[in-house]
Structures are given as C-alpha cells and as structure tokens.
Amino acid sequence: MTKALARELRRLLGPQGVIDEPTRLLPYESDALALLAVPPELVLLPRDTSQTAAALRLLARHGVPVVPRGAGTGLAGGATPVAGGVVVSTARMRDVLELNVEDRFARVQAGVVNVDLTGLCQHHGLLYAPDPSSQMACTIGGNVANNSGGPHCFKYGATTRHVLGLVIVTHDGEVLDLSEPVLDPLGYDLVGTFVGSEGTLGIATEVTVRLSPAPAAIEVLLALFRSLDDACDSVTDIIAARLEPSALEILDRLTIEAVERSVFAAGYPLDSEAVLLVELEGTEIDVAAQARDVLAILERHRPIEVRRARDPVKRKQLWAGRKGAFGAMGRIAPDLYVADAVVPRTKLRELVARTVEICREANLRLATVFHAGDGNLHPNICYDRRNPEEVKRVLEAGHRILAECVAAGGALTGEHGVGLEKLAEMELYFSADDLAAACRLRDAWDPDRRMNPGKVVPSHACLEVRSARRAGTGAAP
C-alpha cells in the first residue's frame, strides 16, 4: 500500500475515516474467529454511500483488495483481512434514514446495530425479527452479508426474508440503488442474490428492512430435563405435531454449568442435563392454546420442572441463560470454537449424540447450545489457542462434525456463513459444477475478484472456470 494512496483516501474520507496506526489496527486483525488473524494495512471508515463509492473507485484504480466489515462479530473469518488489502468498516454509517410505520419498513445505514433497530421499532408496536445472539453489537449490514438468523428465525425466517431493498457499492465504486421496497423484483433478483454473499459481491451501505407487527402476547416455557435426548425428542415431537413456536432453544449440561457460574446465572439446577426454551407468540387465545399443546408434549418426556413466564421481566430472566451462554463460556475455557451446522430436524438426537462422541474421542470439552427448532447445531468446543496441538484437534473435530451433518442430509452452516473457516468443507457439500456456477455469479458482480477475496468459494474452483474461459469453452464476460 503506497503512502500516496493512503493520503488520497484520507483526503476523500477525512482524518476520522482512515486508520493506519498499528495499535489502532489491532482490533481489525480478525473477526470473532480469532484463530484466523491477519494484520490489516489500512482500515477505512466511510460515513455514507458516496464516501464508500469514492473510496472503492480509487481502490479499483490501484487494484487493491477490499474486505468489508460490520461489527466484526462474525464467527467464520468472513472479515479476516487479506494481505495487501484494506478493510472497509461500516462502523460510522449508523443513521436511521427512514422509519415508515404505515408501510412497515425501515431504511437504515449498514452500520446500525441490530438491537438499536429493534428498540426503535418497539415504540411503534413493530419488530425487526432477526435477532442473532450478537445482536447487542452486530450490524444490519453484517446481518445482510451473512444472512443472519437467531432464535426467532424459526418463526420469522432468516435475514433474507426481511430485506426489501439495498444500496450496494460494487467493486468499481458504482452505486446500485435497489432501496425501494417492492413486492417482486423486476428482472433478476439482485437483492435476494446479494444477501448472504459475505462481502464478496460488494458492500451494502443502506438496507431497507421489513418490520413485522409485534405480537400481542408472548409466553416463555423453560423445561429442565435429566437427559439431552429428552430435550431433543421434545423438539422433534413439537415439530412433528406441526406446532409453531417462535423459538426452540436447547442448552446442554456444560453450558448450564457455565451459565450458573457467571453473571448470567438464571437459576438452572446443576443436576439437569439440558434446558429447553420454548417461546410462544400470538394473540392471548393463540398463546394459551399453543402452551397447552406444548406442555402436553413436554410432559411426555418427563421434565424435572417446567417454568413459565408471561411478564416481560420474568421472560427476560428465563432467556438470560441462553442469551448470556456464549459470554458465560469464557469461564470454562480461554477460547471457544463455535461450530455451526444444520441437520434435518428428525435427526437432531442422533447428530447431537455424534458431536458429543466426536469431541470425547478427541479429548475435547464440548458445550452445546443450539437453535433446535431449525436443526441448527452450535457445538462449542473449548480450547486454548496457545496450545497448537489442541487447536489441531479442535479443527479436526469441527471438520468431522460438519462431515457427519452433511452426510445426514444437513448443511455446512445455518447462520455463521462460510468465510474462510469452511472453505475446505465446501467441497463436501457442493460438486465442482456447483462451485463453478458460484464463481460465474461472483465474476458477474466482481470480475476482478477483489471483493473479500478467498472467502466463500474455494479459489481453485474459480481458477477452473478461468482456465475454461482461456480455452474458449466457457464464459467470456
């Protein structure tokens, strides 16, 4: 990176828009996947779409790779810097541009924090449904990049179902204004294709999101079980009975221990092997009817105890252990490898048991928290990153867990994304032709492959496409 380029970027973005001092660059070395750290040379903090576009035009002229970054809460290395590139952070793009209560949408800058948007909507009887566990810090732009989920995604769907429009700055600094909320796209669905692309197709600078009516009544049921199997079987039965809670979450024994020893203590008995949280939403009558049916299923699996809460404060208490689970695990290990995989919901019990076995065989401690209603497992493997041999075992165990989930008809990731972490496993899930098609899509958006290079699609898959083009047998954009 030349000093002249940095000077020019500072001129475009102002002194607050460029970070190049080594100490201030440190927090940008990785996202929440701390195992993969690369020191960035420069971090840019544009204030809006036009500054982002100006910066990307300049970087395009110099052929500099660009790594988009939200709050850096991603768990798959999607925001890990690349050598010779710059990180473009949306941290200074924090304005709510429009809140349209009548038409139920909001238009926000990409750096708006998820929980802030949720809070803003509440005053109007509306909600923004996606609620990733990192919602206190993660940004709406980051949620778009990762197609983030969260506990309530079971009822409301992941981010993609709530994005109505985007303003995107492309690799060469062009601005695609797709922000008007429309029922259906005219032509190809550019917005739908962009969501979940992990910063490889461009940078979203503004997001138009759908707001949903807040439910009239909510009840949380918390069931404590003597075995993890009973909790899993309860979830399978709830799904099979075609009940529709808004969230179904499970915590295992080690997580319960960690939570109870932390500031997030929720009063879970230490002799329980699993906690199942069920949240129900709707009208008063609806919630009462759902609760009756869910309780009947829970009782069949012999819970130690079922706690219920309608009052917001008490509901928050029941959720405290789940929401604080990842923070609490800091007490049981210096580092946590948060895996993310999806399995068919009929195979929850079997696959959860396999993750336990795999970690036992690798002599690793496993704390499991998962979005059971979606079949989205989060096996959290405890480790110490200063121990290279243990790190190796952790990565091997993570790979084995993913392979088992894919073999069972599941998927590599339910909400964390592919990033750098799961590049190798992409070939477990996709064929060479699948990956080549992904490369073609990427090349249509970013022919230079400078946007978040080396993420999501294994590079060699794209190289094959490139070779085919040279041979005159494939695409020639």
Distance CA 17, CA 47 (A): 7
Q: 475 to each of 84, 216, 441, 453, how far by Cα in Å?
A: 29, 53, 11, 20
256 DSSP 8-state letter: H
Q: What is the DSSP string of 201-247?
A: S-EEEEEEEE-EEPPSEEEEEEEEES-HHHHHHHHHHHHHTT---SE
Residue number, 224 or 438, with CB nearest to other proteins:
438
Looking only at the bridges linking them, the beta strands covering 42-44 and 86-89 are parallel
Q: Which residues of 64-100 are buried (b: 16+ CB within 10 A; e: fewer)?
A: bbbbbbbbbbbbbbbbbbbeebbbbbbbbbbeeeebe
Residue number, 17 or 202, with CB nearest to other proteins:
202
Q: What is the DSSP string of 72-89?
A: S--SSSTT---TT-EEEE
- Write down the least CB distance from residue 51 to other proteins, Å: 18
Which residues fall within 8 angstroms of residue 161, CB to CB, at 6 or more apart? Answer: 210
- Write down the least CB distance from residue 274 to other proteins, Å: 21
Residue number, 17 or 375, with CB nearest to other proteins:
375
Residue number, 284 or 361, with CB nearest to other proteins:
284
- Write down the least CB distance from residue 407 to other proteins, Å: 13
Residue number, 269 or 447, with CB nearest to other proteins:
447
Q: Return the residue matching tokens 């993913």.
A: 402
- Write down the least CB distance from residue 160 to other proteins, Å: 7
Show the DSSP H helices in 28-138 as ranges.
49-62, 114-122
Name beta bridge partners: 380. Answer: 338, 367
- Write down the least CB distance from residue 10 to other proteins, Å: 27
Distance CA 281, CA 168 (A): 35
Distance CA 47, CA 110 (A): 10
Residue number, 111 or 165, with CB nearest to other proteins:
165
- Write down the least CB distance from residue 37 to other proteins, Å: 23
Residue number, 42 or 426, with CB nearest to other proteins:
426
- Write down the least CB distance from residue 192 to other proteins, Å: 3
CB-hemisphere CA count at 13 Å for 443? 18
Which residues fall within 8 angstroms of residue 286, CB to CB, at 6 or more apart? Answer: 217, 280
Residue number, 115 or 176, with CB nearest to other proteins:
176
Contact 44, 89 (CB under 8 A): yes
- Write down the least CB distance from residue 224 to other proteins, Å: 25
- Write down the least CB distance from residue 440 to other proteins, Å: 4
Residue number, 250 or 256, with CB nearest to other proteins:
250
